[in-house]
A and B are shown apart, each in its own frame.
Chain A
């Protein structure tokens, strides 16, 4: 149980275009989802916390107008990278706060999306 999926797994786009990444909790409801970015040989860096039905909370230094997050349902959060540039190329990973009682800080991670901006 507690499976999180992401789509697409890999995307290549031209500079200036927008890319949407989906994160789904497949077998549980997730009121809170998280979006991370990971550069090669670096740790995961939290970008934003997505709460169902409300605005996302962005970490310091993350542009909310560039990285649009929508958490419209209890099983789906989307991250849209607007006007993507080569420096946005990275591995984007989402996670969902799990249903485990007493383990409210448990996060289940998706498989990640590799974004390459040409």
Chain B
């Protein structure tokens, strides 16, 4: 069964600190993996996308990694800001053009 598991479920950090969110998936055949940021009451916004051959992708203070062998991905946030408080969702595509498989997300709270 195609599944995407994220950890931790929620996380609280102080402003300025770094954090890493995890994503494990059992999706086959694998096409690509995306990380989205979803602010409360808003739709998801894409942060990064990685295919099988890519093992790291950066977008500003966000850096995603992918290990296709172990089927794990991480999202590292550097020097967190209050505006980083949101839900971060890992989404895996089985093959191009098919439905996306969503993780439940990690809720990040950045406090001052």
Chain B at the A interface: mostly helix, strand, loop or mixed?
loop
Which chain B residues lie closer than 8 Å to A108 at the CB level?
Answer: 46
Instruction: Evaluate contact between B93 and A105: CB separation under 8 angstroms.
Output: yes
Instruction: Evaluate contact between A114 and B41: CB separation under 8 angstroms.
Output: yes
How far apart sit A45 and B101, CA to CA, in the bound complex (Å)? 9
How far apart sit A4 and B42, CA to CA, in the bound complex (Å)? 12
Which chain A residues lie closer than 8 Å to B97 at the CB level?
Answer: 104-105
Instruction: Evaluate contact between B45 and A109: CB separation under 8 angstroms.
Output: yes
A-side interface residues, number (CB < 8 Å): 23
B102 on interface, CB distance cutoff 8 Å: yes
B76 on interface, CB distance cutoff 8 Å: no
CB closest residue in chain A, given B90: A43
Which among B44, B96, B98 is the interface contact of A44 at CB below 8 angstroms? Answer: B44
How far apart sit A105 and B96, CA to CA, in the bound complex (Å)? 5
Min C-beta distance of A92 to chain B, whole Å: 10
Instruction: Evaluate contact between A111 and B96: CB separation under 8 angstroms.
Output: no
Categorize the interface residue count of chain B: 20 to 34
Instruction: Evaluate contact between A109 and B105: CB separation under 8 angstroms.
Output: no
Which among B32, B42, B103 is the interface contact of A111 at CB below 8 angstroms? Answer: B42
* Contact of A112 with B96 at beta-carbon distance under 8 Å, contacts A43-B103, A43-B105, A44-B102 already known: no
A50 on interface, CB distance cutoff 8 Å: no
Which among B31, B89, B104, B105 is the interface contact of A105 at CB below 8 angstroms? Answer: B31
Instruction: Evaluate contact between B31 and A109: CB separation under 8 angstroms.
Output: no
Instruction: Evaluate contact between A105 and B32: CB separation under 8 angstroms.
Output: yes
Instruction: Evaluate contact between B43 and A43: CB separation under 8 angstroms.
Output: no
B100 on interface, CB distance cutoff 8 Å: yes
Contact with A along B36-71 (1 / 0, CB 8 A): 100001111110010000000000000000000000
* Partner-A contacts on B (CB < 8 A): 31-32, 36, 41-46, 49, 89, 93, 96-100, 102-105, 107
